[in-house]
Amino acid sequence: PENTAELRPTHPLAIAPVVAPAASVDGFAKQFLQNLNFDQGVTLSNSDVNDQYLALAYTVRDYLMARWFDDRAQQKAQQNKTVCYLSAEYLLGRQLDNNLLAARLTDIATEALAQCGIDIDDLRQVEIEPGLGNGGLGRLAACFIDSLATMSIPTIGYGIRYEYGIFRQAFNEGQQVEQPDAWLRMGSPWDFAHPEAAQTISFAGTTETYDDEGVERTRWVPEWNVLAVPYNMMVPGYHNGRVNTLRLWRAVATNAFDLHTFNSGDYVESVRAQTFAENISKVLYPEDSTPQGKELRLQQQYFFVAASIADFIENVLPDDFEIEKLPERVIFQLNDTHPVIGVPELMRVLVDEKKLEWDAAWAITQKCFAYTCHTLLPEALEVWSVDLLGHLLPRHLEIIYRINDEFLLEVRERFGDDEMLIRNMSIIGEHPSRSVRMAYLATVAGSKVNGVAELHSQLLRDNVLKDFATMWPDKFTNVTNGVTPRRFLRLANPDLSSLITEALGAGWTVDLERLRGLEALADDADFRERFAAVKASNKRRLSSVLEARGEAPLDDGHMLDVMIKRLHEYKRQTLKVLHIVSTYEGIVSGRLDVDEVQARTFLFGAKAAPGYGMAKRIIHLINAVGEVVSADERVKGKLKVVYPANYNVTLAERIIPAADLSEQISLAGKEASGTGNMKLALNGALTIGTDDGANVEIRKLVGDDNFFLFGMSEPEVEQLWAEGYRPADFYQKDERLRSAIDLIASGAFSGGDRTVFEPLVSNLLYEDRFMALADFSTYLDAQDRVDAAYADQDGWVRSAILNVARSGYFSSDRAMRDYLDRIWHATPVS
Ligand code: B1N
């Protein structure tokens, strides 16, 4: 509305500060009932659980609102730098409990609802989690914004409000089927639309030069536009009264868009065209680590980044802001390459719209961006074909060319006319076809480039971005990932949290290093007993969750061995299956004495990208093996496989506190960091893992005695590749491996049909890109050590406690401090 600035209210209530409802049981109940009546339009007696859940969510939101207004006003008024986290994914998980906890409302809400005759637990179950991400990268973004709010750092998380998040997974005869995730269908109480703050985002068309009072300038003449409508979500800090913003953009057709086609006389076509525009934010791409060069994906990326940059400049900065000072007020953190198109976009804004000189604009741009790389897999490094990018964003391609020209001049100045080096460093790749290498663009433009664990950052410097690291050694840094202790310990594991608070006081929730204080208690038999009782009770809790989903309950006395992460060959779920099959085969063939085998439940949680055939075959194999092994009486119930469908954040919060053993078995050098590994260690699971990603740092901290290491190191992997890896040799050499693979190939898990898993078996024998066979024997040896360790329960629990005590480093609060010190240099609001 144009008139907002002209409102001249005289009513005393209208000029008083916004106040939250009273923080009491009565205050809460009153607000809740009001929301039920006036927002949901039902009376208490006519309401169903969804009405009640929505009214409850609105009530929590009402408490946060005044704080949020304050923080936004302050953000505009103050001179502090704002962290703008640009991420195509935010894997938020359920909001209700987190927001209740942050605002200290859990007890009040529970009691108020009880007085209304409602069990708050019933409402918790109603919430559909916003699954606006694939896996680790999206969940990391969610942990980071939680920590930044808790640390009072002014932050805006910018992203996309996908209408459909990550698909729902179901199994049909053991095979994955995907269903759309209609998460908005029952209402979305945690966000609210601001259509008045919409941005117009342009695409395609041409560029032209024109004379601007004697200066030749370029302008973009786009062909079509969409509206980006912001939806705000509140991001409350834990117990500090601060509320930051997560602003997610939704694509809506512009009026002009309608009008254009409407004027051509085709009403139906004009309505159809709306769908075209609105498709941009329709669905999250479900590939984790293997993006495809689809035009719609580039549209999504440009759509949210352009809207975010414009929003920050126009709405967050004060009206009279001098654009030259932009680097003092913002850092745009690029979460992987997905938002990197923001680099040429900011250049376009500064040069074409704000009419700055190129060099001045470039100096500003370089200070405003920093880039986090999350992978090393070559197939995951995003490239866009020059044709596609030039067609969709012609002005941006011109700008990228100029950035590249000037960058390559700099390379020549530094290193001479080394044409191969120039080819290797060019932002434009020529082979197999002309394309823009987004990681290179981000590296050239960013003030800093970081990897997500020490090993990963080192490999970035030594391999993928080696020449850039030689040119700019100071640009490269590491920030090891972290996870939020609020969601993944305090909320997910309330019993362990109470135990810790009783022992150490409550401060650990915001100062996780305090968990060190538990070290001394690892030798206290009484504490160990209580710790073990918590683990047992968490297993029972998980068991009922599984039962409610139609799975078999967990068996008492089983070690809970979990592998929960996206299904990907490099993560090597297949290696885990080979261990299960080998143990099963050993029992059946008599090689192993069943009475000597440690009873275990193997729990998998994993979605495969819908187009990733091999990953889907592995899912099928896990389910097929599970069915046979769990039912075979010869193993006397000692081996169980459970694979609940649709692993997501909500389920993770139940599995992690119950886990005994954490499987982190990627091929060394392939897992950039991992964050599930941190969550599991923090909740007292012991890790069996390779020297990869953050496992390296976990092992260093928890100690070799409390971690089961196996497998080749990264240099050993490189060496074996260089020598020529022949997986079949390993098959020939190791009888246990041979028997396991033969059993799968024989059709034992596919009703005698040898064809079903043949592609998988052949792949292992003749290709095995991720060297599962090479690591098989040391993996089995490590599993034997696990069994022996578990047999000594006292020793195991001691190790579990030490894992918790020494995992404080993996708090995302620490990660945020590292980003602040090394990259952002932003300070808290007072
Ligand atoms: O990012 C996580 C890391 O802990 C994991 O090791 C890493 O695999 C993960 C394209 C990705 N890397 N790349 C992606 C996701 C979606 C997509 O479309 C790439 N995810 C990771 C957090 O640092």
For residues 442 and 535, state if they share a domain: no
Residue 285 CA: nearest ligand 1 atom is 18
Mean local confidence (pLDDT), 113-132: 97
Write the residue with the smallest CA distance to atom 11 of ligand 1.
Answer: 289
Q: Give burial (CB, 10 Å; 0-12/13-18/19+) of 77.
A: exposed
Report the complex ipTM: 0.99
The CATH code of the domain that includes 332 is 3.40.50.2000
Render pLDDT for 655-671 as a digit per residue (tens, 0 to 9): 999 999 999 999 999 99
Question: How confident is the model at residue 516, as a pLDDT?
Answer: 98
Inform me whether the pLDDT recorded for 413 exceeds 60: yes
Inform me whether the pLDDT recorded for 212 exceeds 90: yes
Q: How far is the CA of 135 from the centre of ligand 1 (A)?
A: 7
Out of 90, 137, 338, 670, give the residue to mutate to test ligand 1, the one with the largest number of ligand atoms within 8 Å of its CB: 137
Q: How far is the CA of 465 from the centre of ligand 1 (A)?
A: 18
Q: How many CA atoms lie within 13 A of 390 on its CB side?
A: 9
Domain residue limits at 215:
79-93+129-164+184-477
For residues 576 and 551, state if they share a domain: yes
3 state SS of 652: helix
Question: How confident is the model at residue 258, as a pLDDT?
Answer: 56
For residues 496 and 575, state if they share a domain: yes
Mean local confidence (pLDDT), 775-782: 98
For residues 150 and 216, state if they share a domain: yes
Query: Given 3-state DSSP classes, what are the helix, strand and coil percentages for the chain, each rounded to the nearest 5?
Result: 55, 15, 30
Question: How confident is the model at residue 70, as a pLDDT?
Answer: 84
> Dihedral sign, CA of 630, 631, 632, 636?
positive
Question: How confident is the model at residue 830, as a pLDDT?
Answer: 75
For residues 88 and 135, state if they share a domain: yes
Mean local confidence (pLDDT), 42-59: 97
Q: How far is the CA of 379 from the centre of ligand 1 (A)?
A: 12
Which residues are annotated as catalytic?
A: 374, 565-566, 571, 675, 679
Q: How far apart are CA 511 and CA 586, in angstroms?
A: 47
Q: How far is the CA of 375 from the centre of ligand 1 (A)?
A: 6
Return the DSSP state at 283: B
Which stretch of 292-296, 342-346, 352-356 has the lowest confidence by average pLDDT? 292-296
Query: CB of 755 within 8 A of CB of 762?
Result: no
User: For the chain, how many helices (H) and strands (E)?
Assistant: 34, 25
Q: How far apart are CA 339 and CA 438, in angstroms?
A: 9
Nearest-10 Cα torsion for 487, 490, 496, 502: 170
Residue 140 CA: nearest ligand 1 atom is 22
Question: How confident is the model at residue 34, as a pLDDT?
Answer: 97
Q: How far is the CA of 71 from the centre of ligand 1 (A)?
A: 31
> Dihedral sign, CA of 335, 338, 343, 345?
negative
For residues 528 and 576, state if they share a domain: yes
Task: Identify the CA nearest to 119 among candidates 53, 183, 35, 36.
Answer: 53
Task: Identify the CA nearest to 338 among candidates 137, 507, 643, 88.
Answer: 88
Question: How confident is the model at residue 261, as a pLDDT?
Answer: 58
Question: How confident is the model at residue 2, as a pLDDT?
Answer: 47
Residue 671 CA: nearest ligand 1 atom is 6
Q: Where are the beta strands (DSSP E) in 62-214?
A: 82-86, 90-91, 131-132, 155-160, 168-172, 175-179, 191-193, 199-203, 206-212
Which percentage of the chain shows pLDDT scores above 70? 98
Phi first, then psi: give them for residue 217, nearest 5 degrees: -125, 165
Question: How confident is the model at residue 271, as a pLDDT?
Answer: 74
Inform me whether the pLDDT recorded for 154 exceeds 60: yes
Q: How far is the CA of 277 from the centre of ligand 1 (A)?
A: 28
Question: How confident is the model at residue 74, as a pLDDT?
Answer: 80
Inform me whether the pLDDT recorded for 288 exceeds 90: no
User: In this structure, is residue 464 part of a structural domain?
Assistant: yes
Q: Given 427, 446, 477, which residue is the final one in a domain?
A: 477
- Its pTM surpasses 0.80: yes
User: In this structure, is residue 772 part of a structural domain?
Assistant: yes
Out of 288, 478, 612, give the residue to mutate to test ligand 1, the one with the largest number of ligand atoms within 8 Å of its CB: 288
For residues 367 and 259, state if they share a domain: yes
User: In this structure, is residue 263 part of a structural domain?
Assistant: yes
Q: How far is the CA of 717 from the centre of ligand 1 (A)?
A: 21
For residues 367 and 323, state if they share a domain: yes
pLDDT tier, 373 (very low <50, low <70, confident <90, very high otherwise)? very high
Write the residue with the smallest CA distance to atom 10 of ligand 1.
Answer: 289
Which stretch of 165-179, 241-255, 669-683, 718-732 has the lowest confidence by average pLDDT? 241-255
User: In this structure, is residue 596 part of a structural domain?
Assistant: yes
Mean pLDDT, the chain, rounded, equals 95
Nearest-10 Cα torsion for 757, 762, 767, 773: 70
Q: How far apart are CA 84 and CA 665, in angstroms?
A: 34
Write the residue with the smallest CA distance to atom 19 of ligand 1.
Answer: 289
Tokens of 480: 């090891």
Mean local confidence (pLDDT), 551-569: 96
Inform me whether the pLDDT recorded for 1 exceeds 50: no
For residues 491 and 448, state if they share a domain: no
Out of 162, 166, 374, give the residue to mutate to test ligand 1, the one with the largest number of ligand atoms within 8 Å of its CB: 374
Give how many domains the chain has, as a whole number.
2
Render pLDDT for 224-244 as a digit per residue (tens, 0 to 9): 999 999 999 999 999 999 999
For residues 544 and 606, state if they share a domain: yes
Mean local confidence (pLDDT), 688-704: 98
User: In this structure, is residue 439 part of a structural domain?
Assistant: yes
Out of 132, 301, 371, 375, give the residue to mutate to test ligand 1, the one with the largest number of ligand atoms within 8 Å of its CB: 375
Write the residue with the smallest CA distance to atom 13 of ligand 1.
Answer: 289
Question: How confident is the model at residue 270, as a pLDDT?
Answer: 72
pLDDT tier, 509 (very low <50, low <70, confident <90, very high otherwise)? very high
User: Could you identify the residue written with the tokens 């923001």?
Assistant: 342
Render pLDDT for 616-642 as a digit per residue (tens, 0 to 9): 999 999 999 999 999 999 999 999 999
Q: Show Cβ contacts of residue 735 under 8 Å, excluding neighbours closer than 6 positions.
A: none
User: In this structure, is residue 59 part of a structural domain?
Assistant: no
Which stretch of 76-90, 385-399, 746-760, 797-811 has the lowest confidence by average pLDDT? 76-90
Q: Taking each helix axis from N to C terminus, what angle separates 772-791 and 735-745, rounded to the nearest 10 degrees?
A: 110
Q: Given 428, 457, 477, which residue is the final one in a domain?
A: 477
Q: Given 454, 477, 500, which residue is the final one in a domain?
A: 477
pLDDT tier, 776 (very low <50, low <70, confident <90, very high otherwise)? very high
Q: Taking each helix axis from N to C terminus, what angle separates 793-805 and 525-548, rounded to the nearest 10 degrees?
A: 90
Write the residue with the smallest CA distance to atom 4 of ligand 1.
Answer: 674
Tokens of 377: 């897999």
User: In this structure, is residue 331 part of a structural domain?
Assistant: yes
User: In this structure, is residue 503 part of a structural domain?
Assistant: yes
Question: How confident is the model at residue 143, as a pLDDT?
Answer: 99
Pocket of ligand 1 (CB under 6 A): 134, 136-137, 140, 285, 287-289, 291, 336, 374-375, 380, 452, 481, 671-675, 693
Q: How far is the CA of 791 from the centre of ligand 1 (A)?
A: 36
Residue 693 CA: nearest ligand 1 atom is 6
For residues 535 and 601, state if they share a domain: yes
For residues 311 and 448, state if they share a domain: yes
